[in-house]
Structure 1
Amino acid sequence: MTNSQLTISPRTAAILDRIAAERARQDALWGEQNHPDGTGPDVEVAGLSRRASDAAHAARFTTEIARAEGRLTWLHILREEVYEGFAEAVVTDLFEELIQVAATAACWAEAIERRSRPANGGGA
């Protein structure tokens, strides 16, 4: 029998707690939100005057170039995930992209938290 229970680090758990708290704050402020997805390959990405599928392709290309040149940043990674989500028209694929966006944002937050720790290894 295999154990299907996920094990996450305390740092990831702390970030997920913060995300849950922010979601509760959003619900308290705005109530339940039910908006159209507004995504798809032909959707114009705000401020870019380009189709979402083109923006996703450009973000993937830019990310790969940055990786190859050794200058990859969190901005590259998260932008790629977000634009890939913007380009999705199939709701199940959009759902998976949004999970990737959330996980990438949480990973970035964890990296920021690690940078904030004192050099002597103290902190959470």
Structure 2
Amino acid sequence: MYPTLFTNPGVKDFAEEIDAERTRQLAKFGEQHHPDGTGLPVYEHAARRYRNQADRNAQSGVLAWRDVLLEEVYEALAEKDPAALRTELVQIAAVCAAWVHDLDSRTEPPAPAV
């Protein structure tokens, strides 16, 4: 097993769950390669829309995880540059980790799927 390098609460468990899911995906589908399908004007418009919505909700005190995630997802979908897309995808993963940690802090964490 690898040494624990994670410093944020819940990230180690989250990473282990992702690793287990990737193992299942690889077993089912094998290694996959697809085009990105990003950078279309419709996604640029949606990214602005969701960014503005998240800003409005934050200012109104009603920001939800949905707002944060959708803003990041549409920013990723709007990207044409592979390096910038990668950065956005990492941000999506970080938002997912934060959301899962928040869920787990409210309830008994679910047992990891086997």
| TM score, norm. by length of structure 1 | 0.80
Choose 1 or 2 for highest CA Rg: 1
Distance across 2 between alignment mates of 1:99 and 1:83: 13
Deviation at residue 115 of structure 1 after TM alignment: 0.7
Distance across 2 between alignment mates of 1:74 and 1:96: 19
Match of 1:22 in 2: 21
Match of 1:45 in 2: none
What residue identity is the alignment partner of 2:101? E
What residue identity is the alignment partner of 1:40? G
Deviation at residue 7 of structure 1 after TM alignment: 4.4
Q: Which protein is richer in helix relative to its size?
A: 2
Alignment partner of 1:12 is 2:11: yes
What residue identity is the alignment partner of 1:91? P
Deviation at residue 101 of structure 1 after TM alignment: 0.5
What residue identity is the alignment partner of 2:65? W
Root-mean-square deviation (Å)? 1.8
Match of 1:74 in 2: 65
Match of 2:106 in 1: 115
CA deviation digits over 1:20-64, x for unaligned, max 9? 11111111111111000000042xxxxxxxx00000000000000
Aligned length: 106
Q: 1:97 aligns with which of 84, 88, 95?
A: 88
Match of 1:61 in 2: 52
Question: Kindly tell me: are residues 108 and 29 of structure 1, through their superposed partners in 2, closer, same or farther at Cα, counting changes over 3 Å?
Answer: same
- Runs (4+) off by over 6 Å: none
What residue identity is the alignment partner of 1:8? T
Deviation at residue 10 of structure 1 after TM alignment: 5.2
What residue identity is the alignment partner of 1:17? E
Identical-pair percentage: 40
Distance across 1 between alignment mates of 2:102 and 2:9: 14
Gap regions ≥5 residues in structure 1: 1-5, 43-50, 119-124
